[in-house]
Amino acid sequence: MISSESVFDLMSEVYFADLRADRASKSVPQKISRLFKRAGLADTFHKGDLVAIKSHFGESNSTSFLRPQYVSTIVDLVAAKGGKPFLTDCNTLYLGGRSNAVDHLSLAAKHGFAPPVVNAPMVIGDGLTGQDSFEIPVGLKHCKTVKVGTVVEHTDSILCVSHVKGHMLSGIGGAIKNLGMGFGSRAGKLDMHHNIKPVVKTPSCKGCGECARHCPAGAISIIDKKARIARKKCIGCGECFVSCFNDAISPGKWAPAEELEERMVEYCYGIIKEKGKERIGYVSFIVDVTPHCDCVPWSDMPFVTDVGILASKDIVAIDQAAGDLINAQVGLEGSVLRRTWGKARTRSVPCMRRTGASSLSMRRSSAWAKRSTSY
What pLDDT sits at residue 338?
62
| Cα separation, 13 vs 325, whole angstroms | 15
Q: Write down the domain spans for the chain.
A: 2-192+258-370, 197-250
Please provide residue 17's backbone torsions phi and psi, each rounded to the nearest 5 degrees: -130, 135
> What is the pTM assigned to this prediction?
0.81
- Are both 2-192+258-370 and 197-250 of the same fold? no
| Cα separation, 172 vs 356, whole angstroms | 5
User: One-letter amino acid identity for 211?
Assistant: C
Is the C-alpha dihedral spanning 334, 337, 342, 344 positive or negative?
A: negative
Is residue 332 within 8 A of residue 302, CB to CB? The reply is yes
Is residue 293 within 8 A of residue 269, CB to CB? The reply is no
Question: Among residues 182, 218, 243, 234, which one has the least CA distance to residue 55?
Answer: 182
Query: Looking at the DSSP assignment, which residues form a beta bridge with residue 16?
Result: 310
Q: How is the chain split among helix, strand and coil, in percent rounded to 5?
A: 35, 20, 45
- Between 42 and 292, the higher pLDDT residue: 42
pLDDT at 320 over 70: yes
| Residue 369 pLDDT grade (very low, low, confident, very high; cuts 50, 70, 90) | very low
Strand 165-167 to strand 84-89: parallel, antiparallel, or no bridges (unpaired)?
A: unpaired
Q: Which CATH class is domain 197-250?
A: alpha beta
Question: Among residues 172, 213, 170, which one has the least CA distance to residue 193?
Answer: 170
| Residue 310 pLDDT grade (very low, low, confident, very high; cuts 50, 70, 90) | very high
What pLDDT sits at residue 270?
97
Question: Among residues 220, 196, 237, 180, which one has the least CA distance to residue 56?
Answer: 180
| Cα separation, 46 vs 126, whole angstroms | 24
| Cα separation, 267 vs 189, whole angstroms | 10
Q: Which CATH class is domain 2-192+258-370?
A: alpha beta
User: One-letter amino acid identity for 39?
Assistant: A
pLDDT tens-digit profile of 70-88?
Answer: 999 999 999 999 999 999 9
Specify the DSSP class assigned to residue 184.
B
Residue 234: partners with Cβ closer than 8 Å, 6 or more residues away: 197, 198, 217, 219
